Structure 1
């Protein structure tokens, strides 16, 4: 018997009977449906092997199930950790007290034997997760009252996030993902085989501001066609966005790099997988028949049954099951693939970025990046670029700008929309912290430099919040 709770997800791995793995588990998917379990619902198993039906009810149809998929994926492992903490104290999840929550907070943030202590911002998220679950449980009578009485910490720093100047991003991408030396020369010792894919993904996030899950679950037919425009519009599906679907914009160079990846690294991975018959053997595979103008996707299941759904409501797991039939055979509909030609889990990108930053550090560079940093950086660049574009279009002088604050306010709304935020205040307070308190005149209108890379570098020096490369 283990001393830890275990976490599983409904639908993980498809139906075990498809590969004959576990006798007695036939038709697992159908049994889950009969029980009313929803797709990608978390299942927490106690150390004694029991599944509490009350927890399943809290997850099945509640304020938890209404949360974005990414939030659910973040919250469920936190519940597993807290329940394990309680179990090792001799308590079940429904026996938690306010003292337990306070002791958990103390250990998570200050425990001398905790090598992975967390800061105020992370604890605030954990506290929100616990409060959500226990509020649901209390409302349904599963616990007498919520044990979560702590208030949010006061040491949450909105400026903990970092930004990258364009030259710092290029250096990190080329060295960390592309395998070059800091000098720009080729590194003969480089053994990376996915440089084209990884660089294309980084360019996508830096150009568009998409979240890791949003960019990492794109389907090939969701990409706008490459043409002669500076920017191209695409659509983020509701099920993979944080809250709601929205329109994103990707620049020409980034989209061209993605098309280069599709024609090279990706095509080779697909060809190898076809040669080994990988796609033909996959359980749960769905072959897309068409996508209509209304955004409905129609597919054929492996057993020949027809199915369909709204493109915007396809979850990350749904997308990984979709395939398209080409002249050369089947291939995944997912854009980003592993070396073996299978869809790449979007969470994998965090490790890819960590390895790239480690390589840069090993070569003596002080540049690093995360998917979220690239999103922040896009917001900062776009704010400055849009201000410049409006300034040139309206022909305003510096004095006249002071009388057009409402016009410049619209720029914040534009960036808010590009990031898919509900609140303009989030855009102002968190993502664009480096420009708070600075005069807009100091950011505006380099006639010879509409992108204002120098101005972003200037912010790096003045604020200390933007990562630059010397």
Structure 2
């Protein structure tokens, strides 16, 4: 590490010098999927690696670690172009970086408050740890003391964004979602007729994925790494419960609830588009070429997965502990040979990486824009939209069950508190405040009683359309 330990030579000799890499990494205490950054000179800073290896950085969710390191790499590159190493950053450098990211003239990729908030959180954590380990005297992230709602004193970054809620948080009404899905993903014309120029071959997969996210509120990684063994079996219920594995969730595993229609769409995809992709890959012998593949022999009722590796060696782990990368290597034996254990496949028949869904959604939104439709979506927008729909539906369901009228409802604040908690749990939030303040912002400042039930009130879909018109925060179809 540092200036030493770099093998020399080329070709086979150079590769041979790295044969003991795994052993050397274990001896140095490297953990699985630990981030490592190289300087433009191709060197590794041992201090930076130590920050990534342990403590408060290492306990972050893997997806958060990957995002943070990407954000840090950008800032460190900015410093390098100024002739500075990461440990020479000052508060003034950070101010210049904030100005460039949010407002820089000529910057083709300006970001909003939410994105800057995440980047600032990454830098604050990294530099706090650097100061704690005495790699630096002072952090470039300046903070100030504020009094919280409960009277406590907290430190917040001076450069914290002021427009987090308004920047990228959006919702869709049901009719706006259907229009975006049918035109953007399904290839229909805005009129609902078939588009003869449509050449999409994965519309069944894409619409099934979108419907599942819109129904469950799962995060992109949670829904994008599902195994077929984790799908609830179809029956005659309206909703079905499934489990989010701890290893792919942001914080902890939890239940999710999928509608019958959403699961039916996934099943239709499995027996059509997915089955065709599997057959093509089997015909090409593609699955036998996957290095490190694991053939699943059994998934027990308790979620214990038992597999056989290509070497013949067996292994086992609980579904809860399987990371997104480990899931890519899982295969099952079908009637005609091997097939991936993951639900979502690329056109090649290989498992689809969950990050690829963002590009699918971008292309769908571009298609809607080309048709002059004012609708767009991201996976996270569907998650926000699910939260808003479910809150309205749960309130209506409780009122019907308890037989409350609007006047009586004001006396049951504790009951409506429970509704917020239920939505929080469905989303997997650690804090109810996040659910209230960010995901359900369109309801802020509005009297919930004026929106909810009794038989003369409009439907949930009409209520959401009304909210879209009144708040300007929700995307609706014209």
TM-score range, shorter chain: over 0.9
Is 1:346 the counterpart of 2:354? The answer is yes
Is the 8 Å Cα contact of residues 385 and 450 (structure 1) preserved in structure 2? no
Label 1:311 to 1:276 Cα distance change in 2 as closer, same or farther (>3 A): same
1:145 maps to what in 2?
138
Task: Note the alpha carbon deviations across 1:315-342, whole angstroms, 9 max, x for none.
Answer: 1111111111223211111111000011
Is the 8 Å Cα contact of residues 120 and 160 (structure 2) preserved in structure 1? no
Is the 8 Å Cα contact of residues 416 and 423 (structure 1) preserved in structure 2? yes
Is the 8 Å Cα contact of residues 405 and 454 (structure 2) preserved in structure 1? no
2:165 maps to what in 1?
158
Gaps of at least 5 residues in structure 2 are 1-10, 143-156
How many matched pairs?
453
Report the Cα offset of residue 35 of structure 1.
Answer: 3.3
- Worse-superposed segment, 433-442 or 177-186: 433-442
Q: Partners of 2:459 and 2:215 in 1: how far apart?
A: 13
Task: Note the alpha carbon deviations across 1:88-142, whole angstroms, 9 max, x for none.
Answer: 1112122222222222222222322322222333222111101111111222222
Q: Partners of 2:41 and 2:346 in 1: how far apart?
A: 37
2:296 maps to what in 1?
288
Report the Cα offset of residue 57 of structure 1.
Answer: 1.4
2:438 maps to what in 1?
430
1:8 maps to what in 2?
none
Q: Partners of 2:17 and 2:463 in 1: how far apart?
A: 65
Is 1:49 the counterpart of 2:56? The answer is no
- Residue of 276, 280, 283 corresponding to 1:268: 276
Is 1:359 the counterpart of 2:352? The answer is no
Q: Partners of 1:449 and 1:31 in 2: how far apart?
A: 68
Is the 8 Å Cα contact of residues 380 and 432 (structure 1) preserved in structure 2? yes
- Worse-superposed segment, 172-181 or 318-327: 318-327
Q: Partners of 2:310 and 2:277 in 1: how far apart?
A: 22
Q: Partners of 2:78 and 2:166 in 1: how far apart?
A: 31
Is the 8 Å Cα contact of residues 196 and 261 (structure 1) preserved in structure 2? yes
- Residue of 192, 196, 210 corresponding to 1:184: 192
Is 1:113 the counterpart of 2:106? The answer is yes
Q: Partners of 2:306 and 2:138 in 1: how far apart?
A: 46
**Cα RMSD for the two superposed structures:** 2.1
1:248 maps to what in 2?
256
Label 1:448 to 1:30 Cα distance change in 2 as closer, same or farther (>3 A): farther
Label 1:21 to 1:430 Cα distance change in 2 as closer, same or farther (>3 A): farther
Q: Partners of 2:458 and 2:18 in 1: how far apart?
A: 61
TM-score, length basis structure 2: 0.91
Label 1:186 to 1:315 Cα distance change in 2 as closer, same or farther (>3 A): same
Label 1:196 to 1:28 Cα distance change in 2 as closer, same or farther (>3 A): farther
Q: Partners of 1:437 and 1:21 in 2: how far apart?
A: 65
Is the 8 Å Cα contact of residues 299 and 306 (structure 1) preserved in structure 2? yes
- Residue of 208, 211, 226 corresponding to 2:234: 226
- Worse-superposed segment, 215-224 or 319-328: 319-328
Q: Partners of 1:218 and 1:41 in 2: how far apart?
A: 23
- Residue of 58, 74, 83 corresponding to 2:67: 74
Report the Cα offset of residue 166 of structure 1.
Answer: 0.7
Q: Partners of 1:341 and 1:83 in 2: how far apart?
A: 38
Report the Cα offset of residue 147 of structure 1.
Answer: 2.3
Question: Secondary structure in 2 aligned to 1:144?
Answer: coil
Label 1:449 to 1:397 Cα distance change in 2 as closer, same or farther (>3 A): closer
Q: Partners of 2:286 and 2:112 in 1: how far apart?
A: 44
Is 1:397 the counterpart of 2:405? The answer is yes
Q: Partners of 2:225 and 2:467 in 1: how far apart?
A: 33
Task: Note the alpha carbon deviations across 1:217-236, whole angstroms, 9 max, x for none.
Answer: 11110000011111111111
Label 1:42 to 1:236 Cα distance change in 2 as closer, same or farther (>3 A): same
Question: Secondary structure in 2 aligned to 1:43?
Answer: coil
Label 1:42 to 1:450 Cα distance change in 2 as closer, same or farther (>3 A): farther
Report the Cα offset of residue 83 of structure 1.
Answer: 1.1
Question: Secondary structure in 1 aligned to 2:256?
Answer: strand
- Worse-superposed segment, 231-240 or 170-179: 231-240
- Residue of 32, 39, 45 corresponding to 2:32: 39
2:5 maps to what in 1?
none
- Worse-superposed segment, 161-170 or 106-115: 106-115
Q: Partners of 1:97 and 1:157 in 2: how far apart?
A: 25
Q: Partners of 2:211 and 2:458 in 1: how far apart?
A: 20
